[in-house]
Amino acid sequence: MEKRTVNIPAISCGHCIMTIKRELGGLKGVSSLEGDEKTRTLTIKWENPATWEKIADTLKELGYPAVEEW
């Protein structure tokens, strides 16, 4: 299992987090999503068949691109 915490500046409220969770949660292999609207971070856990590239592409498509890895 892989895990990554990223900064997503476009997060402004709880609804943003819910949108991201709903969409990324639909990707096969994504097992856990935790977001914090105050720090604008998202922690994602996944395994195959999900990949970081697919997750990052989905975030971009949603309008919430990850800009920094922590």
DSSP code of 27? Answer: S
C-alpha to C-alpha distance for 64 and 48, rounded to whole angstroms: 23
Average pLDDT, the chain: 94
Instruction: Output the pTM of the full model.
Output: 0.89
pLDDT(21) > 90: yes
Domain extents in the chain:
2-69
Average pLDDT over residues 16-22: 96
C-alpha to C-alpha distance for 57 and 46, rounded to whole angstroms: 15
CB atoms within 10 A of CB 26: 9
Average pLDDT over residues 41-58: 96
Average pLDDT over residues 6-18: 96
Q: Would you state the CATH architecture of domain 2-69?
A: 2-Layer Sandwich (3.30)
Q: Which residues of 29-56 are buried (b: 16+ CB within 10 A; e: fewer)?
A: ebeebebeeeebbbebebeeebeeebbe
Average pLDDT over residues 51-67: 96
pLDDT(70) > 60: no
